[in-house]
A = this chain, B = another copy of it.
Amino acid sequence: MSELTIALDMMGGDIGPPVTFPAALKAAQAYPDVTFLLFGHQDAIQHEFKKRNISESDGIMSRMPIVHCEEVVGMGDSPASVLRNKKQSSMRKMIESVEQNNAQACVSSGNTGALMALAYYRLKTLSGIDRPALVSRMPTAGQHRVFLLDLGANVTCTAETLFQYGVMGSVLAQQVAQIEKPRVALLNVGEEDIKGNAQVKMADQIFKNANSVNYIGYVEGTEIFSDAADVIVTDGFTGNIALKSSEGLAKLVINEVKRQSQKSFLTRMMARAAMPLLKKIYNRVNPDQYNGASLIGLRGTVIKSHGNASSDAFYYAIGLAIQEARMQVPEKIKASIETVLLEQI
Contacts and interface: CB of A to CB of B under 8 A. Distances in A.
Interface in A215-271: 220-226, 234, 236-238, 240-253, 255-257, 260-261, 267, 270-271
Interface in A146-181: 152, 155-156
Nearest to A76: B192
A89 to B, nearest CB: 19
Contact of A241 (B221, B249, B255): B221
A308 to B, nearest CB: 11
A140 interface: yes
A44 to B, nearest CB: 27
A345 interface: no
A189 B78 CA distance: 15
A77 to B, nearest CB: 11
B155 A197 contact: yes
Given A241-B221, A274-B274, A281 B253 contact: yes
Stoichiometry (number of copies): 2
B197 A225 contact: no
B270 A276 contact: yes
Q: How large is the interface on A (under 10, 10 to 19, 20 to 34, 35 or more residues)?
A: 35 or more
Q: Which secondary structure characterizes the binding site on chain A?
A: helix
A34 to B, nearest CB: 33
A22 interface: no
Given A220-B244, A222-B244, A236-B189, A270 B274 contact: yes
A243 B249 CA distance: 10
B276 A251 contact: no
Contacts of A281: 253, 256-257, 260
A246 B246 CA distance: 4
A247 B221 CA distance: 8
A285 B238 contact: no
Given A224-B248, A270-B273, A242 B240 contact: no
A218 to B, nearest CB: 12
30 contacts: A78-B194, A141-B252, A155-B195, A189-B237, A189-B241, A197-B237, A220-B240, A220-B244, A221-B242, A221-B243, A221-B246, A223-B248, A224-B248, A224-B249, A225-B249, A225-B251, A225-B252, A226-B252, A245-B246, A246-B246, A249-B250, A252-B285, A253-B253, A253-B285, A256-B284, A256-B285, A257-B281, A261-B277, A267-B277, A273-B274
Given A225-B248, A226-B251, A256-B285, 11 more contacts: A78-B194, A156-B198, A221-B244, A225-B245, A225-B249, A225-B252, A226-B248, A242-B242, A270-B273, A270-B277, A273-B274
